[in-house]
Structure 1
Protein backbone atom coordinates (compact mmCIF):
# COMPACT_ATOMS: atom_id res chain seq x y z
CA UNK A 1 0.00 0.00 0.00
CA UNK A 2 1.37 3.46 -0.90
CA UNK A 3 2.50 5.47 2.11
CA UNK A 4 -0.09 8.22 1.54
CA UNK A 5 -2.91 5.66 1.31
CA UNK A 6 -1.71 4.11 4.56
CA UNK A 7 -1.75 7.53 6.20
CA UNK A 8 -5.30 8.19 4.93
CA UNK A 9 -6.47 4.82 6.27
CA UNK A 10 -4.98 5.51 9.69
CA UNK A 11 -6.65 8.91 10.00
CA UNK A 12 -9.96 7.45 8.79
CA UNK A 13 -9.66 4.69 11.38
CA UNK A 14 -9.27 7.29 14.13
CA UNK A 15 -12.49 8.95 12.95
CA UNK A 16 -14.47 5.72 12.48
CA UNK A 17 -13.41 4.42 15.89
CA UNK A 18 -14.49 7.67 17.55
CA UNK A 19 -11.02 8.80 18.56
CA UNK A 20 -11.56 11.88 16.41
CA UNK A 21 -15.14 13.12 16.60
CA UNK A 22 -16.84 15.50 14.15
CA UNK A 23 -15.62 19.02 14.86
CA UNK A 24 -12.57 17.89 16.85
CA UNK A 25 -9.07 19.21 16.19
CA UNK A 26 -6.27 16.91 15.06
CA UNK A 27 -3.13 16.74 17.23
CA UNK A 28 -0.07 18.72 16.12
CA UNK A 29 1.42 17.39 12.91
CA UNK A 30 4.66 16.20 14.53
CA UNK A 31 2.81 14.47 17.37
CA UNK A 32 0.28 12.79 15.08
CA UNK A 33 2.96 11.61 12.65
CA UNK A 34 4.95 10.04 15.48
CA UNK A 35 1.86 8.47 17.01
CA UNK A 36 0.80 6.88 13.70
CA UNK A 37 4.32 5.90 12.67
CA UNK A 38 4.24 8.11 9.59
CA UNK A 39 6.56 10.65 8.05
CA UNK A 40 5.34 14.23 8.27
CA UNK A 41 5.30 14.50 4.46
CA UNK A 42 3.01 11.47 4.01
CA UNK A 43 0.75 12.74 6.80
CA UNK A 44 0.59 16.14 5.09
CA UNK A 45 -0.45 14.51 1.79
CA UNK A 46 -3.12 12.46 3.55
CA UNK A 47 -4.54 15.56 5.23
CA UNK A 48 -4.60 17.36 1.87
CA UNK A 49 -6.48 14.46 0.24
CA UNK A 50 -9.01 14.19 3.08
CA UNK A 51 -9.61 17.94 3.01
CA UNK A 52 -10.44 17.76 -0.72
CA UNK A 53 -13.25 15.32 -0.02
CA UNK A 54 -14.44 17.43 2.95
CA UNK A 55 -13.51 14.98 5.69
CA UNK A 56 -10.97 17.39 7.15
CA UNK A 57 -10.97 21.18 7.31
CA UNK A 58 -7.55 22.85 7.27
CA UNK A 59 -7.78 26.29 8.92
CA UNK A 60 -4.74 28.43 8.26
CA UNK A 61 -3.11 29.47 11.50
CA UNK A 62 -5.60 27.51 13.60
CA UNK A 63 -5.09 23.83 12.86
CA UNK A 64 -6.85 20.94 11.15
CA UNK A 65 -10.32 19.84 12.20
CA UNK A 66 -12.66 16.97 11.41
CA UNK A 67 -15.65 18.42 9.57
CA UNK A 68 -19.26 17.88 10.63
CA UNK A 69 -19.24 14.75 8.40
CA UNK A 70 -22.82 15.54 7.37
CA UNK A 71 -23.89 13.64 4.22
CA UNK A 72 -24.57 16.80 2.19
CA UNK A 73 -21.04 18.01 2.92
CA UNK A 74 -19.31 14.72 2.11
CA UNK A 75 -21.36 14.13 -1.03
CA UNK A 76 -20.65 17.63 -2.33
CA UNK A 77 -17.66 16.18 -4.18
CA UNK A 78 -19.99 14.05 -6.32
CA UNK A 79 -21.74 17.12 -7.65
CA UNK A 80 -18.37 18.65 -8.51
CA UNK A 81 -17.27 15.57 -10.46
CA UNK A 82 -20.49 14.92 -12.36
CA UNK A 83 -20.61 18.48 -13.71
CA UNK A 84 -17.72 17.56 -16.01
CA UNK A 85 -19.33 14.58 -17.71
CA UNK A 86 -20.59 14.68 -21.28
CA UNK A 87 -24.06 14.05 -22.66
CA UNK A 88 -23.83 10.28 -23.12
CA UNK A 89 -22.86 9.92 -19.47
CA UNK A 90 -25.98 11.84 -18.45
CA UNK A 91 -27.87 8.63 -19.26
CA UNK A 92 -26.02 6.89 -16.45
CA UNK A 93 -27.00 9.64 -14.02
CA UNK A 94 -30.61 9.27 -15.14
CA UNK A 95 -30.39 5.52 -14.56
CA UNK A 96 -29.25 6.19 -11.00
CA UNK A 97 -32.03 8.75 -10.55
CA UNK A 98 -34.52 6.10 -11.72
CA UNK A 99 -33.30 3.88 -8.88
CA UNK A 100 -33.09 6.48 -6.13
CA UNK A 101 -35.96 8.91 -6.72
CA UNK A 102 -38.79 6.36 -6.65
CA UNK A 103 -37.39 5.05 -3.35
CA UNK A 104 -37.28 8.59 -1.94
CA UNK A 105 -40.82 9.26 -3.18
CA UNK A 106 -42.10 6.09 -1.54
CA UNK A 107 -40.52 7.09 1.77
CA UNK A 108 -41.90 10.62 1.44
CA UNK A 109 -45.44 9.26 1.13
CA UNK A 110 -44.90 7.58 4.49
CA UNK A 111 -42.80 10.11 6.36
CA UNK A 112 -43.75 13.59 5.14
CA UNK A 113 -45.65 15.70 7.65
CA UNK A 114 -48.92 17.32 6.59
CA UNK A 115 -47.10 20.65 6.57
CA UNK A 116 -44.41 19.30 4.24
CA UNK A 117 -47.07 17.88 1.92
CA UNK A 118 -48.74 21.30 1.85
CA UNK A 119 -45.35 22.78 0.94
CA UNK A 120 -45.10 20.35 -1.97
CA UNK A 121 -48.54 21.36 -3.17
CA UNK A 122 -47.51 25.03 -2.88
CA UNK A 123 -44.49 24.42 -5.13
CA UNK A 124 -46.77 23.06 -7.86
CA UNK A 125 -49.15 25.99 -7.42
CA UNK A 126 -46.36 28.50 -8.11
CA UNK A 127 -46.34 27.67 -11.83
CA UNK A 128 -48.65 29.72 -14.03
CA UNK A 129 -50.74 28.31 -16.84
CA UNK A 130 -48.03 28.79 -19.49
CA UNK A 131 -44.62 28.62 -17.77
CA UNK A 132 -41.37 28.97 -19.67
CA UNK A 133 -39.25 25.83 -19.98
CA UNK A 134 -36.66 27.35 -17.65
CA UNK A 135 -39.33 28.11 -15.04
CA UNK A 136 -40.75 24.60 -15.35
CA UNK A 137 -37.34 22.96 -14.88
CA UNK A 138 -36.53 25.19 -11.89
CA UNK A 139 -39.87 24.22 -10.38
CA UNK A 140 -39.16 20.57 -11.21
CA UNK A 141 -35.86 20.72 -9.31
CA UNK A 142 -37.55 22.26 -6.25
CA UNK A 143 -40.34 19.68 -6.42
CA UNK A 144 -37.96 16.72 -6.44
CA UNK A 145 -35.64 18.21 -3.82
CA UNK A 146 -38.61 18.77 -1.51
CA UNK A 147 -39.65 15.14 -1.92
CA UNK A 148 -36.10 13.91 -1.34
CA UNK A 149 -35.89 15.96 1.87
CA UNK A 150 -39.28 14.56 2.87
CA UNK A 151 -37.91 11.03 2.66
CA UNK A 152 -36.24 11.67 6.01
CA UNK A 153 -32.97 10.13 4.76
CA UNK A 154 -30.17 12.70 4.55
CA UNK A 155 -27.86 10.45 2.56
CA UNK A 156 -30.55 9.67 -0.02
CA UNK A 157 -31.46 13.37 -0.23
CA UNK A 158 -27.84 14.41 -0.76
CA UNK A 159 -27.29 11.81 -3.47
CA UNK A 160 -30.39 12.91 -5.38
CA UNK A 161 -29.43 16.57 -5.04
CA UNK A 162 -25.94 15.89 -6.39
CA UNK A 163 -27.41 14.14 -9.45
CA UNK A 164 -29.79 16.96 -10.34
CA UNK A 165 -27.25 19.30 -11.93
CA UNK A 166 -25.97 17.05 -14.74
CA UNK A 167 -29.51 16.27 -15.93
CA UNK A 168 -30.85 19.84 -15.93
CA UNK A 169 -29.76 20.68 -19.48
CA UNK A 170 -31.32 17.45 -20.80
CA UNK A 171 -34.61 18.36 -19.09
CA UNK A 172 -34.62 21.81 -20.67
CA UNK A 173 -33.81 20.47 -24.14
CA UNK A 174 -36.54 17.85 -23.83
CA UNK A 175 -39.07 20.55 -22.95
CA UNK A 176 -38.07 22.56 -26.00
CA UNK A 177 -38.07 19.71 -28.50
CA UNK A 178 -40.52 17.01 -27.41
CA UNK A 179 -44.16 17.67 -28.11
CA UNK A 180 -46.32 17.45 -24.99
CA UNK A 181 -43.34 17.24 -22.60
CA UNK A 182 -44.46 20.22 -20.51
CA UNK A 183 -48.01 18.90 -20.17
CA UNK A 184 -46.81 15.41 -19.23
CA UNK A 185 -44.38 16.78 -16.66
CA UNK A 186 -47.13 18.77 -14.96
CA UNK A 187 -49.54 15.82 -15.03
CA UNK A 188 -46.96 13.47 -13.56
CA UNK A 189 -46.00 15.95 -10.85
CA UNK A 190 -49.67 16.25 -9.95
CA UNK A 191 -50.05 12.45 -9.82
CA UNK A 192 -46.97 12.11 -7.59
CA UNK A 193 -48.24 14.83 -5.27
CA UNK A 194 -51.71 13.26 -5.05
CA UNK A 195 -50.22 9.85 -4.19
CA UNK A 196 -48.10 11.40 -1.44
CA UNK A 197 -51.10 13.34 -0.09
CA UNK A 198 -53.15 10.13 -0.07
CA UNK A 199 -50.33 8.29 1.72
CA UNK A 200 -50.05 5.72 -1.06
CA UNK A 201 -46.32 4.88 -1.12
CA UNK A 202 -46.48 2.22 -3.85
CA UNK A 203 -48.47 4.47 -6.16
CA UNK A 204 -46.10 7.37 -5.47
CA UNK A 205 -43.13 5.15 -6.27
CA UNK A 206 -44.71 3.99 -9.53
CA UNK A 207 -45.43 7.53 -10.73
CA UNK A 208 -41.90 8.67 -9.82
CA UNK A 209 -40.49 5.78 -11.86
CA UNK A 210 -42.62 6.70 -14.87
CA UNK A 211 -41.61 10.35 -14.52
CA UNK A 212 -37.82 9.82 -14.43
CA UNK A 213 -37.91 7.01 -16.98
CA UNK A 214 -39.64 9.33 -19.45
CA UNK A 215 -36.69 11.73 -19.49
CA UNK A 216 -34.24 8.83 -19.69
CA UNK A 217 -36.03 7.22 -22.64
CA UNK A 218 -36.28 10.53 -24.48
CA UNK A 219 -32.53 11.09 -24.10
CA UNK A 220 -31.73 7.55 -25.27
CA UNK A 221 -33.75 8.18 -28.42
CA UNK A 222 -32.24 11.63 -28.92
CA UNK A 223 -28.67 10.44 -28.58
CA UNK A 224 -29.32 7.61 -31.03
CA UNK A 225 -29.93 9.93 -34.00
CA UNK A 226 -27.40 11.63 -36.29
CA UNK A 227 -28.37 15.08 -34.94
CA UNK A 228 -28.84 13.94 -31.40
CA UNK A 229 -26.24 15.91 -29.47
CA UNK A 230 -27.57 18.28 -26.88
CA UNK A 231 -26.90 21.97 -27.53
CA UNK A 232 -23.83 23.42 -25.82
CA UNK A 233 -24.31 24.75 -22.30
Structure 2
Protein backbone atom coordinates (compact mmCIF):
# COMPACT_ATOMS: atom_id res chain seq x y z
CA UNK A 1 0.00 0.00 0.00
CA UNK A 2 1.40 3.40 -0.98
CA UNK A 3 1.74 6.28 1.46
CA UNK A 4 -1.14 8.05 -0.27
CA UNK A 5 -3.33 4.93 0.04
CA UNK A 6 -2.51 4.79 3.74
CA UNK A 7 -3.51 8.44 4.08
CA UNK A 8 -6.81 7.75 2.31
CA UNK A 9 -7.55 4.83 4.62
CA UNK A 10 -6.81 6.92 7.71
CA UNK A 11 -9.24 9.64 6.69
CA UNK A 12 -11.88 7.07 5.75
CA UNK A 13 -11.39 5.39 9.12
CA UNK A 14 -12.10 8.72 10.87
CA UNK A 15 -15.35 8.98 8.90
CA UNK A 16 -16.36 5.37 9.63
CA UNK A 17 -15.64 5.81 13.34
CA UNK A 18 -17.72 8.98 13.40
CA UNK A 19 -14.83 11.24 14.29
CA UNK A 20 -15.66 13.09 11.09
CA UNK A 21 -19.40 13.42 10.49
CA UNK A 22 -21.11 14.18 7.15
CA UNK A 23 -20.82 17.90 6.54
CA UNK A 24 -18.05 18.44 9.11
CA UNK A 25 -14.98 20.50 8.28
CA UNK A 26 -11.53 18.91 8.25
CA UNK A 27 -8.85 20.43 10.44
CA UNK A 28 -6.25 22.66 8.81
CA UNK A 29 -3.78 20.77 6.64
CA UNK A 30 -0.80 21.05 8.99
CA UNK A 31 -2.87 20.06 12.03
CA UNK A 32 -4.53 17.09 10.33
CA UNK A 33 -1.24 15.86 8.86
CA UNK A 34 0.33 15.94 12.32
CA UNK A 35 -2.72 14.24 13.87
CA UNK A 36 -2.58 11.38 11.36
CA UNK A 37 1.20 11.11 11.25
CA UNK A 38 1.36 12.01 7.57
CA UNK A 39 3.38 14.35 5.44
CA UNK A 40 1.42 17.33 4.12
CA UNK A 41 2.04 16.20 0.53
CA UNK A 42 0.59 12.73 1.24
CA UNK A 43 -2.41 14.28 2.95
CA UNK A 44 -2.91 16.62 -0.02
CA UNK A 45 -2.92 13.66 -2.44
CA UNK A 46 -5.36 11.76 -0.23
CA UNK A 47 -7.73 14.74 -0.08
CA UNK A 48 -7.63 15.05 -3.87
CA UNK A 49 -8.45 11.36 -4.29
CA UNK A 50 -11.29 11.44 -1.74
CA UNK A 51 -12.68 14.57 -3.37
CA UNK A 52 -12.77 12.75 -6.72
CA UNK A 53 -14.69 9.97 -4.97
CA UNK A 54 -17.12 12.59 -3.58
CA UNK A 55 -16.27 11.59 -0.03
CA UNK A 56 -14.80 15.05 0.56
CA UNK A 57 -15.85 18.41 -0.85
CA UNK A 58 -13.47 21.35 -1.17
CA UNK A 59 -14.99 24.81 -0.93
CA UNK A 60 -12.78 27.58 -2.23
CA UNK A 61 -11.68 29.85 0.59
CA UNK A 62 -13.60 27.88 3.19
CA UNK A 63 -11.77 24.58 3.55
CA UNK A 64 -12.46 20.89 2.99
CA UNK A 65 -15.56 19.16 4.29
CA UNK A 66 -16.92 15.64 4.49
CA UNK A 67 -19.68 15.35 1.89
CA UNK A 68 -23.23 14.35 2.74
CA UNK A 69 -22.11 10.78 1.95
CA UNK A 70 -25.39 9.98 0.20
CA UNK A 71 -24.89 6.56 -1.44
CA UNK A 72 -26.30 7.63 -4.82
CA UNK A 73 -23.79 10.50 -5.02
CA UNK A 74 -20.85 8.29 -4.06
CA UNK A 75 -21.88 5.74 -6.69
CA UNK A 76 -21.63 8.33 -9.47
CA UNK A 77 -17.85 7.92 -9.35
CA UNK A 78 -18.43 4.55 -11.05
CA UNK A 79 -19.85 6.20 -14.18
CA UNK A 80 -16.45 6.49 -15.86
CA UNK A 81 -15.86 2.75 -15.48
CA UNK A 82 -19.09 2.09 -17.35
CA UNK A 83 -18.27 4.67 -20.01
CA UNK A 84 -14.97 2.98 -20.91
CA UNK A 85 -16.19 -0.61 -20.64
CA UNK A 86 -15.52 -2.91 -23.59
CA UNK A 87 -16.15 -6.52 -24.52
CA UNK A 88 -16.50 -8.85 -21.55
CA UNK A 89 -16.75 -5.96 -19.07
CA UNK A 90 -19.58 -4.35 -21.05
CA UNK A 91 -21.41 -7.69 -21.04
CA UNK A 92 -20.96 -8.02 -17.29
CA UNK A 93 -22.50 -4.57 -16.77
CA UNK A 94 -25.46 -5.57 -18.92
CA UNK A 95 -25.90 -8.76 -16.92
CA UNK A 96 -26.16 -6.71 -13.74
CA UNK A 97 -28.58 -4.33 -15.47
CA UNK A 98 -30.73 -7.33 -16.45
CA UNK A 99 -30.83 -8.42 -12.81
CA UNK A 100 -31.88 -4.97 -11.56
CA UNK A 101 -34.01 -3.35 -14.24
CA UNK A 102 -36.92 -5.83 -14.65
CA UNK A 103 -37.76 -5.81 -10.90
CA UNK A 104 -37.46 -2.01 -10.92
CA UNK A 105 -39.86 -1.75 -13.86
CA UNK A 106 -42.25 -4.13 -12.08
CA UNK A 107 -42.25 -1.85 -9.04
CA UNK A 108 -42.79 1.15 -11.29
CA UNK A 109 -45.93 -0.44 -12.73
CA UNK A 110 -47.66 0.16 -9.42
CA UNK A 111 -46.17 3.58 -8.71
CA UNK A 112 -46.15 5.59 -11.92
CA UNK A 113 -48.76 8.34 -11.83
CA UNK A 114 -51.07 9.07 -14.74
CA UNK A 115 -49.02 12.20 -15.37
CA UNK A 116 -45.77 10.21 -15.52
CA UNK A 117 -47.33 7.69 -17.89
CA UNK A 118 -48.39 10.58 -20.12
CA UNK A 119 -44.83 11.95 -19.97
CA UNK A 120 -43.48 8.54 -21.01
CA UNK A 121 -45.91 8.50 -23.92
CA UNK A 122 -44.59 11.89 -24.98
CA UNK A 123 -41.00 10.67 -24.78
CA UNK A 124 -41.84 7.68 -26.99
CA UNK A 125 -43.57 9.91 -29.54
CA UNK A 126 -40.50 12.15 -29.69
CA UNK A 127 -38.27 9.06 -30.02
CA UNK A 128 -40.18 8.08 -33.15
CA UNK A 129 -39.27 11.37 -34.85
CA UNK A 130 -35.81 12.00 -33.38
CA UNK A 131 -33.60 13.59 -36.02
CA UNK A 132 -30.31 12.04 -34.86
CA UNK A 133 -29.15 8.95 -33.00
CA UNK A 134 -27.82 11.22 -30.24
CA UNK A 135 -31.28 12.75 -29.76
CA UNK A 136 -32.84 9.29 -29.76
CA UNK A 137 -30.47 8.08 -27.06
CA UNK A 138 -31.11 11.19 -24.95
CA UNK A 139 -34.83 10.34 -25.08
CA UNK A 140 -34.08 6.66 -24.42
CA UNK A 141 -32.24 7.67 -21.25
CA UNK A 142 -35.12 9.93 -20.22
CA UNK A 143 -37.57 7.06 -20.73
CA UNK A 144 -35.64 4.64 -18.53
CA UNK A 145 -34.77 7.29 -15.92
CA UNK A 146 -38.42 8.32 -15.51
CA UNK A 147 -39.38 4.71 -14.87
CA UNK A 148 -36.54 4.11 -12.40
CA UNK A 149 -37.11 7.38 -10.55
CA UNK A 150 -40.78 6.52 -9.97
CA UNK A 151 -39.67 3.72 -7.63
CA UNK A 152 -38.42 6.40 -5.24
CA UNK A 153 -35.00 4.86 -4.53
CA UNK A 154 -32.16 7.19 -5.64
CA UNK A 155 -29.56 4.46 -5.13
CA UNK A 156 -31.39 2.18 -7.57
CA UNK A 157 -31.84 5.04 -10.06
CA UNK A 158 -28.14 5.86 -9.90
CA UNK A 159 -27.06 2.24 -10.31
CA UNK A 160 -29.29 1.76 -13.35
CA UNK A 161 -27.98 4.98 -14.86
CA UNK A 162 -24.40 3.86 -14.33
CA UNK A 163 -25.04 0.44 -15.84
CA UNK A 164 -26.10 2.01 -19.13
CA UNK A 165 -24.53 5.43 -19.64
CA UNK A 166 -25.01 7.76 -22.60
CA UNK A 167 -21.48 7.03 -23.84
CA UNK A 168 -21.96 3.27 -23.53
CA UNK A 169 -25.23 3.36 -25.47
CA UNK A 170 -23.72 5.37 -28.29
CA UNK A 171 -20.79 2.98 -28.54
CA UNK A 172 -23.10 -0.03 -28.65
CA UNK A 173 -25.17 1.45 -31.46
CA UNK A 174 -22.05 2.41 -33.40
CA UNK A 175 -20.99 -1.21 -33.19
CA UNK A 176 -24.17 -2.36 -34.91
CA UNK A 177 -23.78 -5.48 -37.02
CA UNK A 178 -23.66 -4.75 -40.76
CA UNK A 179 -26.93 -5.33 -42.64
CA UNK A 180 -27.86 -8.62 -44.34
CA UNK A 181 -27.61 -8.82 -48.13
CA UNK A 182 -29.50 -6.20 -50.16
CA UNK A 183 -33.18 -6.96 -50.57
CA UNK A 184 -33.48 -8.91 -47.31
CA UNK A 185 -36.82 -7.74 -45.95
CA UNK A 186 -35.89 -8.76 -42.41
CA UNK A 187 -33.56 -5.78 -41.99
CA UNK A 188 -34.66 -3.34 -39.30
CA UNK A 189 -32.92 -0.33 -37.81
CA UNK A 190 -31.77 -0.27 -34.20
CA UNK A 191 -34.10 2.64 -33.54
CA UNK A 192 -37.12 0.73 -34.84
CA UNK A 193 -36.31 -2.35 -32.79
CA UNK A 194 -35.59 -0.39 -29.62
CA UNK A 195 -38.73 1.67 -30.13
CA UNK A 196 -40.84 -1.51 -30.36
CA UNK A 197 -39.34 -2.74 -27.11
CA UNK A 198 -39.98 0.61 -25.41
CA UNK A 199 -43.58 0.50 -26.61
CA UNK A 200 -44.01 -2.97 -25.11
CA UNK A 201 -42.70 -1.73 -21.76
CA UNK A 202 -45.01 1.30 -21.86
CA UNK A 203 -48.09 -0.75 -22.69
CA UNK A 204 -47.39 -3.06 -19.77
CA UNK A 205 -46.92 -0.07 -17.45
CA UNK A 206 -50.13 1.50 -18.73
CA UNK A 207 -51.96 -1.73 -17.91
CA UNK A 208 -50.35 -1.71 -14.43
CA UNK A 209 -49.19 -5.26 -15.16
CA UNK A 210 -46.01 -5.72 -13.12
CA UNK A 211 -45.19 -9.19 -14.47
CA UNK A 212 -45.63 -8.14 -18.09
CA UNK A 213 -43.61 -4.97 -17.54
CA UNK A 214 -40.75 -6.94 -15.99
CA UNK A 215 -40.80 -9.38 -18.90
CA UNK A 216 -40.73 -6.60 -21.49
CA UNK A 217 -37.80 -4.95 -19.70
CA UNK A 218 -35.93 -8.26 -19.52
CA UNK A 219 -36.40 -8.80 -23.26
CA UNK A 220 -35.14 -5.27 -23.92
CA UNK A 221 -31.88 -5.72 -21.99
CA UNK A 222 -31.38 -9.33 -23.11
CA UNK A 223 -31.50 -8.19 -26.75
CA UNK A 224 -28.44 -6.03 -26.16
CA UNK A 225 -26.68 -8.80 -24.25
CA UNK A 226 -27.41 -11.21 -27.08
CA UNK A 227 -25.92 -8.85 -29.62
CA UNK A 228 -22.75 -8.26 -27.59
CA UNK A 229 -22.37 -12.02 -27.14
CA UNK A 230 -21.72 -12.20 -30.89
CA UNK A 231 -18.39 -10.53 -30.19
CA UNK A 232 -18.63 -7.78 -32.78
CA UNK A 233 -16.21 -4.96 -31.81
CA UNK A 234 -17.87 -1.79 -30.54
CA UNK A 235 -17.67 1.23 -32.88
CA UNK A 236 -16.90 -1.00 -35.87
CA UNK A 237 -19.98 -0.61 -38.04
CA UNK A 238 -22.67 1.81 -39.28
CA UNK A 239 -25.27 3.43 -37.06
CA UNK A 240 -28.30 2.78 -39.18
CA UNK A 241 -28.66 -0.99 -39.41
CA UNK A 242 -28.87 -3.99 -37.15
CA UNK A 243 -29.94 -7.56 -37.62
CA UNK A 244 -33.40 -8.82 -36.54
CA UNK A 245 -33.75 -9.49 -32.84
CA UNK A 246 -30.97 -7.05 -31.95
CA UNK A 247 -31.40 -3.68 -30.37
CA UNK A 248 -29.72 -0.64 -28.99
CA UNK A 249 -30.18 -0.13 -25.27
Give TM class, smaller chain: 0.7 to 0.9
Counting only pairs closer than 5 Å after superposition, residues 1-233 of structure 1 correspond to structure 2 as: 2-128=2-128, 133-163=133-163, 164=165, 165-174=167-176, 177=179, 179-180=187-188, 181-221=190-230, 223=232, 230-231=235-236
SS in structure 1 at match of 2:230: helix
Q: Structure 2: how far apart are the matches of 1:129 and 1:123?
A: 10
RMSD: 3.0
- Cα 1:132–1:18 change in 2 (3 A) is same
Instruction: Tell me the alpha carbon deviations over residues 72-121 of structure 1, each in whole angstroms, 9 at most, x when there is no partner.
Output: 43223222233233355332322222222223212222333333232222
- Cα 1:37–1:112 change in 2 (3 A) is farther
- What's the offset of the Cα at 1:50? 0.7
Q: Structure 2: how far apart are the matches of 1:17 and 1:114?
A: 45
Instruction: Tell me the alpha carbon deviations over residues 7-28 of structure 1, each in whole angstroms, 9 at most, x when there is no partner.
Output: 3233223333444333321111
Q: Structure 1: how far apart are the matches of 2:40 and 2:191?
A: 58
- What's the offset of the Cα at 1:192? 1.1
On the 8 A contact 2:109/2:205 being kept in 1, the answer is: yes
- Cα 1:107–1:46 change in 2 (3 A) is same
SS in structure 2 at match of 1:111: coil
Q: Which has the higher helix share?
A: 1
Q: Structure 2: how far apart are the matches of 1:101 and 1:203?
A: 13
Where does the alignment leave 5 or more consecutive residues of structure 1 unmatched? Answer: none
On the 8 A contact 2:174/2:235 being kept in 1, the answer is: no
On the 8 A contact 2:128/2:195 being kept in 1, the answer is: no
On the 8 A contact 1:93/1:167 being kept in 2, the answer is: no
Instruction: Tell me the alpha carbon deviations over residues 138-195 of structure 1, each in whole angstroms, 9 at most, x when there is no partner.
Output: 3222211211222211112112212323133213544984823433322221221122
What TM-score comes out, normalization by structure 2 length? 0.76
SS in structure 2 at match of 1:64: strand
